[in-house]
Structure 1
């Protein structure tokens, strides 16, 4: 199912550019999985080329990867949480998640943490273009 006809929706991933390359790539990948899980129609379109190679599309719209320093990430997380519309999704990657290699440990740790006091390595946003733009309009592309 494509989201093309489901209103004006946009996606963005925001990453701390100071992360080492491997952690940066891992953060983008896991946030991408979270975005896809939250919006199954975001990709998941089966295509087939002329010789018969079948595959699922990665996304049905651009996915800009933007950068924000550690202190800006906290501000972005707070603003996104407060202003999130019903059609919006917020995906977070707190730095401490790297230390937990079992999802159940992560799930159990979250209620004991205050993410406003944690380093956030990445944020995924999906929702109305106006909302995503209001949060990310001043951010630069990751280079």
Structure 2
């Protein structure tokens, strides 16, 4: 079974000034949540020649790009206004929480304007994603 994602794109943008561990965490959280929000991104399980089953993986590339915090905030805001895009923002507030209950409590007391994003994951039509993120460099 093949799912047609022609014309679709998926990207993750992380804040360029994060240390390596926080960069990897920010990318992982955005990617995992995108996979939950857009399950058609993940293909079916496959078998190898020995019959061992391997979990399905993403059907399209997921480049990890970098940008300054201000640019990520702009991307989150602009992408959030486009109904064709699935947007997952991950903030420094969320990254600093030790439990989900703490996250719920702190988010409930924090206005959107006070959030600083460490990453954003976006899925949708290539045209919109290229316009938003096409000039950003890859994390290396």
TM score, norm. by length of structure 2: 0.89
Match of 1:109 in 2: 106
Structure 1 stretch displaced more, 97-106 or 108-117: 108-117
Which of 131-140 and 112-121 deviates more?
A: 112-121
1:44: Cα distance to partner? 4.2
Which string of whole-angstrom CA distances, capped at 9 and with x for unpartnered residues, describes residues 13-67 of structure 1?
0001211111111111111111100011211410011012211222000001111
**Cα distance in 1 for residues equivalent to 2:102 and 2:111:** 16
Shift of 1:6: 5.2
Greater shift after overlay, 7-16 or 61-70?
A: 7-16
Unpaired runs of at least 5, structure 2: none
Question: Does the 8 A contact of 1:43 with 1:56 survive in 2?
Answer: no
Conserved in 1, the CA contact under 8 Å of 2:8 and 2:126?
yes
Give the distance between the partners of 2:137 and 2:86, measured in 1 at CA.
21
Once the two structures are superposed, the pairs formed by residues 1-143 of structure 1 within 5 Å of their partners are 4-5=3-4, 8-82=7-81, 84-85=82-83, 87-143=84-140
Number of positions where the alignment pairs a residue of Structure 1 with one of Structure 2: 140
Alignment root-mean-square deviation, CA: 1.8
Q: Note the residue ranges of structure 1 that are not aligned, 5 or more in a row.
A: none
Distance in 2 between residues matched to 1:17 and 1:52, nearest whole Å: 42
Separation in structure 2 between the aligned mates of residue 100 and residue 35 of structure 1, nearest angstrom: 20
TM value normalised by structure 1? 0.88
Relative to 1, partners in 2 of residues 1:111 and 1:7: Cα closer, same or farther, differing over 3 Å? farther
Within 2, Cα distance between the matches of 1:32 and 1:13?
A: 7
Query: Matches of 1:73 and 1:88 in 2, distance apart?
Result: 15
- Corresponding residue SS for 1:140: coil
Relative to structure 1, the CA distance from residue 134 to residue 56 in structure 2 (aligned partners, 3 Å threshold; closer, same or farther) is same
Provide the rounded CA distance (Å) in 1 between the counterparts of 2:43 and 2:124: 18
